[in-house]
Amino acid sequence: MLNKEVAVVGGGPAGLTASIELAKRNVDVTLIDENLQAGGQLLKQTHKFFGSEEHYAGVRGFNIARELIEDAKDLAVDFLLEGSIYSVYEDKVLAVKKEKSTRLISPERVIFATGASEKVINFPGWTLPGVMGAGAVQTFVNQHRVLPGRKFTIIGSGNVGTIVAYQLLQAGAEVAAIVEAADEIGSYYVHANKAVRSGDIPVYTSHTIKEATGGESVDSVKIAQVDDSWQPVPGTEKTIDTDVVCLAVGLRPRTKLTSLTGCRSIYSSTLGGEVPLHDESMETSTDGVYVAGDVAGVEEASIAIEEGRLAGVSAASSLGYISNSAEADQKEEIRGRLELLRGGKYGEERAEEKERIRSIFNERLTRRESSTVRR
């Protein structure tokens, strides 16, 4: 068994910044990721980020990944790539499978930055080859540089749906349609604007997918208008020629490992599903276990970058690497930036939801402490 001060699970934006903050303070940290390369979903993003300098404004996603990986390597973060965690035992012992062997890692603190997984909707024909997640399309096109088809229909017009749409245009593919059940496009204006300003992509709002058809793989998709109660309106069906149906219908926190570790969670539709309860330092209900990024509620990469930093600082200070006064200042600075990122009409609802999660966490913790005393 390998003893470590901190294990960070997941090498996306949150896991990388957490590792960097820890290594900066000379904490012995291992970053575990199941892929060949760290960087997470940032590796597949071709657009420039916005925000401020601390959030890499103006830098393209894949370049942010490169910078963070470089910083982590300069600080001698120990990378354990192609390592899949298949279980978590008592006292936070992580069982990691790499190639055909397994190893046990026993860390004093764990930061789970496991990200999110894609949601799926079902319809007749959804198992046909050619129906795939938006993440798969991004992975094939921007990472492996292969188009999984020629004519794409995108289901869902949130940030992921509209970003994939213009990434496909960049790669020279045809986007036959964006289909959205709500009566307006769901993404940030900047992304929607880039995807539809060309005029090349028809956007069907108030529409849903009824069926994907084809013998061996998708050759067309049937859509229909929906009424106020989201039911398809008979007689409004349209058939669109397409060979890839790309599902961009949302993400949910990837909480398998946090639940194995005994972290209590709560359902939040705003944040994508079950979210591990956590306090303002990103610590969960299990002592010494932290969360950061999408696993702590689906938001966006710049938030993940800051939450990773916050979790890293918290874990480092709990191990005695930061003085109490310095800790407070450093956390305040990060929290201030998180507040800014969650400003505006898109962020407010998420900010309130995170606050609700913190207050439930604190309430339960207080109750637990008082019941312990009584016993």
Partner 1 sequence: MEEKKQDLRVNNHPILKGKSAGDKITITVEGEEIEAYEGEPIAAALLAADITVFRRTKKRQDPRGPFCGIGLCTDCVMKVNGEPNVRTCITPVEDGMVVEKQGDDREVRKNAK
Nearer to partner 1, 12 or 297 (CB): 12
Contacts of 243 (CB under 8 A, 6+ apart): 130, 149, 150, 151, 152, 217, 218, 219
Binders of partner 1 among 7-46, rule CB under 8 A? 34-36, 46
Euclidean distance between CA atoms 362 and 345, whole angstroms:
27
Q: Which of 26, 52, 170, 231 binds partner 1 (CB under 8 A)?
A: 170
Distance of closest approach, residue 259 Cβ to partner 1, in angstroms: 17
Q: How far is CA 21 from the centre of its chain?
A: 20
Cβ-based nearer residue to partner 1, 139 or 236: 139
Q: How far is the CB of 148 from partner 1 (least distance, A)?
A: 5
Residue with tokens 């979790």: 311
Using CA atoms, how far residue 288 sits from 67, 236, 323, 354, in Å, is: 28, 55, 18, 20
Looking at 64-72, 93-101, 127-135, 190-198, which segment touches partner 1 (CB under 8 A)? Answer: 127-135
CA distances for 94 relative to 100, 160, 276, angstroms: 16, 32, 18
User: Residue from 49, 56, 112, 140 that binds partner 1 (CB under 8 A)?
Assistant: 140
Would you give the distance in Å from CA 343 to the centre of its chain?
19
Place of tokens 């570790």: 261
59 is a site residue for partner 1 (CB under 8 A):
no
Annotate each residue in 293-332 with x if it binds partner 1 (CB under 8 A) or - if it does not, as one string.
Answer: ----------------------------------------
Q: Interface with partner 1 includes 137 (CB under 8 A)? A: yes
Stretch that binds partner 1, among 7-15, 93-101, 102-110, 126-134 (CB under 8 A): 126-134
Q: Which of residues 225-244 bind partner 1 (CB under 8 A)?
A: 243
Asked if residue 150 binds partner 1 (CB under 8 A), the reply is yes
Could you tell me the smallest distance in angstroms from the CB atom of residue 60 to partner 1?
A: 7
Contact residue for partner 1 among 2, 54, 60, 340 (CB under 8 A):
60
Residues 101-120 that bind partner 1 (CB under 8 A): 117-118
Q: Measured between alpha carbons, how far is residue 7 from residues 25, 57, 128 in Å? A: 15, 29, 39
* 153 contacts partner 1 (rule: CB under 8 A): no
Q: Is 81 in the site for partner 1 (CB under 8 A)?
A: no
Residue 190 sits in the site that holds partner 1 (CB under 8 A): no
- Burial of residue 168 (CB within 10 Å: 0-12, 13-18, 19+) is buried
What is the spatial distance between Cα 327 and Cα 331, in angstroms, rounded to a whole number? 6
Q: Which is nearer to partner 1, 95 or 182 (by Cβ)?
A: 95
The H-or-E segment that residue 185 falls in is none
> What is the smallest separation between the CB atom of 363 and partner 1, expressed in angstroms?
35
Which of residues 118 and 333 has its CB atom nearest to partner 1 in the complex? 118
Q: Are 123 and 211 in contact (CB under 8 A)?
A: yes
Nearer to partner 1, 5 or 274 (CB): 274
99 contacts: CB under 8 Å, gap ≥ 6: 82
DSSP 3-state of 280: coil
Least separation in angstroms between residue 245's CB and partner 1 is: 11
Minimum Å gap between C-beta 206 and partner 1 is: 27
**Closest approach of partner 1 to the CB of residue 214, in Å:** 9
Q: Which is nearer to partner 1, 304 or 322 (CB)?
A: 304
Q: Which of 99, 216, 228, 332 binds partner 1 (CB under 8 A)?
A: 216
Backbone angles phi, psi at 2, to 5 degrees: -100, 120
Strand order of the β-sheet with 151-155 is 131-133, 244-247, 151-155, 174-179, 203-204
Rounded CA-CA distance 131/116 in Å is 20
Binding interface with partner 1 (CB under 8 A): 34-36, 46, 60, 62, 117-118, 127-133, 135-137, 139-142, 144-150, 170-172, 216-217, 243
